[in-house]
Amino acid sequence: MDVVQTDLSIKAMRKKILILSWPAIIRLFLQSLVGTVDVIMVGKLTGPAIGAVGVSNRIVFIIIGAFTALSVGSTALVAHYIGAKDIKKGNEILWQSILISLIMGIGITVVGFLFSESLLKGMLSLMDDKEGYDFIIREGVVYIKIVLTSMIFGFPMMIINAVFQGVGDMKTPLYLMIITNIVNVIFNYLLIFGHWIFPEMGVAGAALGTAISRMVGCLIGVGILIIGKSNLKLTFKYLSFKLDTVIIKAIFKIGIPSSVEQFARQGSQIIITIFVAGLGAHALDANEIVMNINNLAIMPGFGFGVAALTLVGQSLGAGDSDLANRYAKQTALIGIVLMLPITISMFIFAEPLVMLFDTSKTVVPLAVTVVRIIIITQPILTLILILAGALRGAGDTMWVMISTIIGNWGARVVLGILFGYYLGIGLTGFYLAIGIDIIVRALLMLYRFKSGKWKNIKVLSKKDKLKEVIN
């Protein structure tokens, strides 16, 4: 797919943006839905099962956050090399990325088996509910071990999706995610509740269903790359089991700031979860419900962010900074406009959405209030995600990292603990702080984008493209 053209009307640009965005939006929605389905299904179980899955996933997310460095670096580099018409180098980057992903998957599995219980106990250090505490520890340890082991397949799948995005192929990752979701729902149903020949495994069944779906998605994705139905075919003549330090340094130079960004974001959420747990099991369940609804709501923003990353990266790879700038602005405009009706609808129907997860009279009113607070910030958050995607496509991941650290820790954590815990506002106070965090990050992203400094970051050079990246 030839994404980059220098002579484009506004109409043509918007068409390209939508062509790239809508498959990414649906794919990311379905990707988020995998976790949401887990939460909805385990919500039918006895005990604080929602809290167990939610707390466990906070730990899972921060552990796998390091892998963002690889996926973001691979996407940006592949996009640049496709823009520069260098298919051979793109293939070499692909093989090295898959190799590293397998090594990291094994490492993450070891971490899960050694430290899952200790990490969970740390997360619940302020929780006074002894029964809820014991339940979450018991179920959460098994959940974490299974989910982290599944990343042996999950990490390569992330790389495969990233590479497809880098070449402008958004439909194949969508199809992979549809298959993954179908497999996840089927095996969740069979393993959580014990149907047909399968045992009733509860929370562990949700984790195993997710693991099976990742394995299936990974194997199919590798098969598609080998067949070569996209602009980048997995060619075995470029296969090497020797780590290429030049390529690895290039990938991580771009990606490590995004990894730190993920750590900052997930780390801040862990701190918030620790203090929310101190408010009791009901607050913990409400928090998990709100986060799942919010994650689904913001998927259009993430989708347009992916489009911005690809279009800006390929435009700069082709040497056209003006086109990159125009793509970023048009993507932001479309994203915000389309996000407004979603925001209004979810604000109005907050209660029915919450009741999909839980019908408890103690949880629903609290969750509804908090959902409405966070939903009204979605258009602003959409702008953040799109500008962040544009900056990442340019290789300007450092600014995105700095903005996230300032917003998440300077506003979300500090003000959240102050409002929610010490001033006694409760869960509502934590989400007021999240709203302030979003405003702060939006201002920082706008400042950087308007400065135009991202246009001058060197990712490729005519003499030696990869060496230019790491020097």
* Amino acid 5: pLDDT: 52
Residue type, 109: T
Q: H-helix or E-strand containing 246?
A: helix 245-277
* Amino acid 336: pLDDT: 94
* Amino acid 340: pLDDT: 93
Q: How far is CA 26 from CA 79, 339, 368, 382, 384, in A?
A: 21, 14, 25, 15, 19
d(CA 413, CA 114): 28
Report which of 191, 216, 205, 71 is spatially closest to residue 147, judged by C-alpha positions: 205
* Amino acid 348: pLDDT: 94
d(CA 383, CA 388): 8
230 DSSP 8-state letter: S
Regions of the chain where pLDDT drops below 50: 1-3, 460-471
86 DSSP 8-state letter: -
* Amino acid 260: pLDDT: 80
Give the domain ranges of the chain.
10-456
Report which of 385, 381, 379, 355 is spatially closest to residue 367, judged by C-alpha positions: 355
User: What mean pLDDT value characterizes the chain?
Assistant: 82
* Amino acid 292: pLDDT: 83
Please name the residues in contact with 444: beta carbons below 8 A apart, sequence gap of 6 or more: 399, 402, 403, 406, 407
Report which of 202, 218, 248, 86 is spatially closest to residue 152, judged by C-alpha positions: 218
Contact of 448 with 383, CB cutoff 8 Å? no
Contact of 416 with 269, CB cutoff 8 Å? no
What token pair was written down for 390? 């544009």
* Amino acid 372: pLDDT: 94
* Amino acid 235: pLDDT: 62
* Amino acid 57: pLDDT: 79
d(CA 202, CA 49): 9
Length of the chain: 471
**Percent of the chain whose predicted confidence (pLDDT) is above 90:** 23
Residue type, 389: G
Contact of 361 with 420, CB cutoff 8 Å? no
Alpha-carbon Rg for the chain, nearest whole angstrom, is: 22
410 DSSP 8-state letter: I
